[in-house]
Amino acid sequence: MEYLSAFAPFVIGLIEQKRSLGYKWESEPDVLRRFELFCMERHPHATTITQEVMLDWAAKRPNEKPATLQNRLTPVRELAKYMVRLGYDAYLMPKGLMPRVPKYMPHIYTNDELRLIFEQTDKCHYCIIVPFRHLVMPEFFRLLYCTGMRLSEARLLKVSDVDLNDGVMTVTNAKLDKHRQLPLSQEMLERLQKYHANVHVLSNPNTIHI
């Protein structure tokens, strides 16, 4: 991704620093790119993040939810903190002005709800555009339920990450780039063995598993 404004060296430096510390920072560079374009259009002479620039960027957009606004503000606040650490004068929006995101209350599924979910995934039919969808969906949702994996972790599993002999999965793309191993129940292991026989007989170890 190319950065062209006066903020470009700081944006690039911040991204490199975050990733060197183990943060993935996958969506934040796009936010910073949009901030850069915003400044080039609305504040073309800005060379630092002033209060005026930050409050203009922080203005809530129509139908924008607090979580979306917070995700848009946080990387730019991190950019301002980075500039301050380098000795530049940049405005740090006080945390009290940051939008408050309602506390997430998880839903605990009942056994009947889980049964209905799996019944629906098992009804997934063959589609010529995504020919393995009817095989992937039943195992993908069961894998999430049985292991507690994050969506991205399950989605990025490779064939080599799944040991079908010992029934252990190695998650290599976990938070902060840490690795961990997850045991599989006998039932889940047998399902994945069948899935592998139907989908991955000719796959190489780096093929995405699910």
Task: For residue range 4-18, list pLDDT tens digits in order.
Answer: 789 999 999 999 999
- Across all residues in the chain, what is the average pLDDT? 91
Domain hosting 15: range is: 8-97
For residues 12 and 93, membership in a common domain is answered with yes
Residue 209 lies in a domain: no
The token pair at 95 is 């945390």
- The pLDDT value given to residue 176: 65
- The pLDDT value given to residue 210: 78
The domain boundary, picked from 68, 97, 126, lies at 97
What gap in Å lies between CA 103 and CA 124, rounded to an integer? Answer: 34
For residues 137 and 83, membership in a common domain is answered with no
pLDDT digits (tens, 9 = 90+) for 80-101: 999 999 999 999 998 877 777 7
For residues 14 and 90, membership in a common domain is answered with yes
For residue 192, pLDDT over 90 is answered with: yes
For residue 206, pLDDT over 90 is answered with: no
Q: Are 79 and 32 in contact (CB under 8 A)?
A: yes
The more confidently predicted of residues 57 and 176 is 57
For residues 127 and 150, membership in a common domain is answered with yes
Number of folded domains in the chain? 2
List all residues 6 or more positions away from 82 whose beta carbon is below 8 Å from its beta carbon.
10, 13, 14, 17
pLDDT digits (tens, 9 = 90+) for 110-167: 999 999 999 999 999 999 999 999 999 999 999 999 999 999 899 989 999 999 999 9
Q: How far is CA 78 from CA 14, 52, 84, 193, in A?
A: 8, 17, 10, 45
For residues 118 and 87, membership in a common domain is answered with no
Residue 7: DSSP 8-state: T
Residue 3 lies in a domain: no
Q: Identify the burial level of 193 via C-beta atoms within 10 angstroms of its C-beta, where 0-12 means exposed, 13-18 middle and 19 or more buried.
A: middle
What gap in Å lies between CA 43 and CA 35, rounded to an integer? Answer: 11
